[in-house]
Structure 1
Amino acid sequence: MGGVILRFIFIAVNYNGSTFTQEYINSINELSKDVSDQIEIIIVDNDSKKEDKDRLIEIAERNENTKVLWLEKNVGYFKGLNEGIISCTKDSNTFLIIGNNDLTFEKEFILNLKLIDIESDTLVIAPNIITKDGRQQNPHVIHRVTRTEKLKAQIYNSNYYIGQFFKFINQTLIKKLSSQKPKLNSYPQMKIKRGIGACYVLSNNFFNHYEKLDDRVFMWGEEALLSNQVESVNGVTLYDPNIKIIHHESASVKSIESKKKYYMVKESYQIYKKYL
């Protein structure tokens, strides 16, 4: 790709999370890159509180490569990302890095992304995403979702109280495992079924088939909808261990009241379950 001007457009959704957004932008602006590489940042604000919007205005004013799109209501995750996707010009020399605003990119992220041999069927690239406590979130699903996992999802979404019991058991297991030092898996670059929803790289091949993401769910289940888009056109999601991201897992989702969150998840499940 020598001599070619490459554009890297980072798109994230903000909802009352300007502190995370500031760190997200700082992380991007500190990335190593070649002189000809261009970086643009688009923050889509999902109708945050006034004080958060005011801070976003200040952040954008301090960063010339950043623009904010202001939405009049909270439209959800993928719908918010789509506002950013639709707003920018895309061509064969453009990469779109879409996701949460609670991410820190490893300094060599762009340079390593440029080393990936992107074949014509590669629509999505899944980065190596690691939480602050050391849990590796990709590859999210390598080959297929097992029957056991499908059954667990079905049972969880059958009843609120059953779902809470499942959630308690799951959290207990996570706490037990997190008390031990996590071991990072050394997966090689490979084709996978789906990556975690916190961040994706969309290649230009994606836009040869689609104008935007399938955004039928407000939140939760986006991974299944995106993998369905990719597979429907015989495309590939490629996991690459060398493009690394730290995921801070912000408190915005955790703050949602449990019963409200359960029914939001259940509503999304009715849409994405056939793609599991």
Structure 2
Amino acid sequence: MLGIVILNYNTAKLTADCINSIMNTYKGAFKIYIVDGGSTDDSVIILEDAYRESEIIKIIQLNKNYGFSYGNNRGAEIAIKEGCRKILITNSDIIFYENAIENLILTFEKYESTALVFPCVYNTGDILQSVDIVIKKRSWLDILIYENIFSKFVPKAIKKRTRRPVEECMEETQSFYFEGCCFLVDSIKFCEVDMLDENIFLYGEESILSEKIIRKNYKMYYIPDSKVLHLKGASSEGITRAERSYICLKSKLYFWYKYKKFPKILDWITVKAGLLILRVRYRKIEGITQLHYRYKIELLSYMEELHKQKRILI
């Protein structure tokens, strides 16, 4: 049976739309686990009223928002205990198209070593969310070159060594990175890699899980015939764009140091540069000076704390 985990935080309408799209497009056996991360609105009441009579939808309430990884892990744990052999983890702002889930599941039958598969993700306006599929394992140097605001200036001849334009991937393609908004995992293999790293509150979870799966010699695949719509950012409303950027930088810092062996001096330079870029980018936002100062102190303190810890060797 398939277990579907949806993390809800003040997004009852989005969650209901996501569930409707699943029910309208997937004909197999499944159970849905809605994990509410301490919503501050009437989300839980709305969802309980809507699905009170359902035997395939369970609502799990957390007492506060512990973040993406924590919430999804709790839902996945319950799904696995109830016999789900595959776990679909999806944002509440995802809409599934016809056969999207079936096409993801079929890949596991083709390749025994598959641990994770992910769909072709569109944003509103029929725009592809991903530009490239990562076709080789990422080194810390690759991340430094390709995953920043200057990556668009990297010559195509160099870029194609590690990445392939998503529009060229017409068949299932082995990937070394996936889209975190929607993905399907094998339950046993997901447990073997210790699920999602709960030290990350938001953003960067896919980088860490990708790294753990690769180090176990399991495989991930991009499935172009599985299509979903991502109402990008709608599931994280309530967090300003500026705050999301600072949180993202903190998550990247954790990943760089703990999993990719970034040199400590490079951590320091990258964080300093990132803070400067964010300060300039959001300079016109009211209250940005106080926000920037708070996150600057937090990030530099967090970096010092990380550098005292051992790196994660898997």
| Structure-1-length-normalised TM-score | 0.77
**What is the distance in 2 between the residues matched to 1:59 and 1:41?**
13
- Work out the CA distance in 1 between the residues paired with 2:189 and 2:4: 16
Deviations along 1:31-89, one digit per CA (max 9) or x if unpaired, are 242xxx31110110010024122112112225431111100010111111001011123
Partner residue in 1 for 2:18 = 24
Change (3 A) 1:227 1:50: same
Rg larger in 1 or in 2? 2
- Residues 270, 115 of structure 1: alpha-carbon distance in 2 compared, 3 angstrom cutoff: closer
Aligned AA for 2:8?
Answer: N
Q: State how 1:11-160 maps to structure 2 within 5 Å.
A: 11-33=5-27, 37-61=28-52, 63-89=54-80, 94-116=85-107, 117-138=109-130, 140-145=133-138, 147=141, 149-151=143-145
Unaligned runs of 5+ in 1: 1-6, 157-165, 171-182
RMSD after superposition: 2.8
Aligned in 2, Cα 1:145/1:137: closer, same or farther, shift over 3 Å? Answer: farther
Does structure 2 retain, via aligned residues, the 8 Å contact 1:135–1:184? no
Could you say if the C-alpha distance between residues 114 and 224 of structure 1 is closer, same or farther in structure 2, counting changes exceeding 3 Å? Answer: closer
1:186-201 to structure 2, matched below 5 A, reads 186-201=169-184
TM-score using structure 2 length = 0.68
Q: Is the partner of 1:128 in helix, strand or coil? A: strand
Q: How far, CA to CA, are the matches of 2:168 and 2:110 in structure 1?
A: 23
The worse-fitting range, judged by mean Cα deviation, of 122-131 and 141-150 is 141-150
CA deviation after TM superposition for structure 1 residue 143, in Å: 2.3
Which of 217, 226, 237 in structure 2 is aligned with 1:234? Answer: 217
Deviation at 1:204, TM superposition (A): 3.8
CA distance in 1, matches of 2:104, 2:177: 18
Amino acid of the structure 1 residue aligned with 2:65: N
CA 1:226 to 1:61, structure 2 compared with 1: closer, same or farther past 3 Å? same
State the one-letter code of the partner of 1:197. Answer: G
Q: CA deviation at 1:16?
A: 0.4
Please give the alpha-carbon distance, in whole angstroms, between the structure 2 residues aligned to 1:112 and 1:268.
31
8 Å CA contact 1:143–1:193 kept in 2: the answer is yes
CA pair 93-43 structure 1, distance change in 2 beyond 3 A: closer
Identity %: 25
- 1:271 equivalent in alignment to 2:254: yes
Q: 1:267 to 1:250 in 2, by over 3 A?
A: closer
Higher relative contact order (CA 8 A, sep 6+): 1
245-254 or 190-199, larger mean C-alpha shift:
245-254
Shift of the alpha carbon at 1:235?
1.1
For structure 2, list consecutive stretches of 5 or more residues without a partner in the other structure. 153-165, 261-314
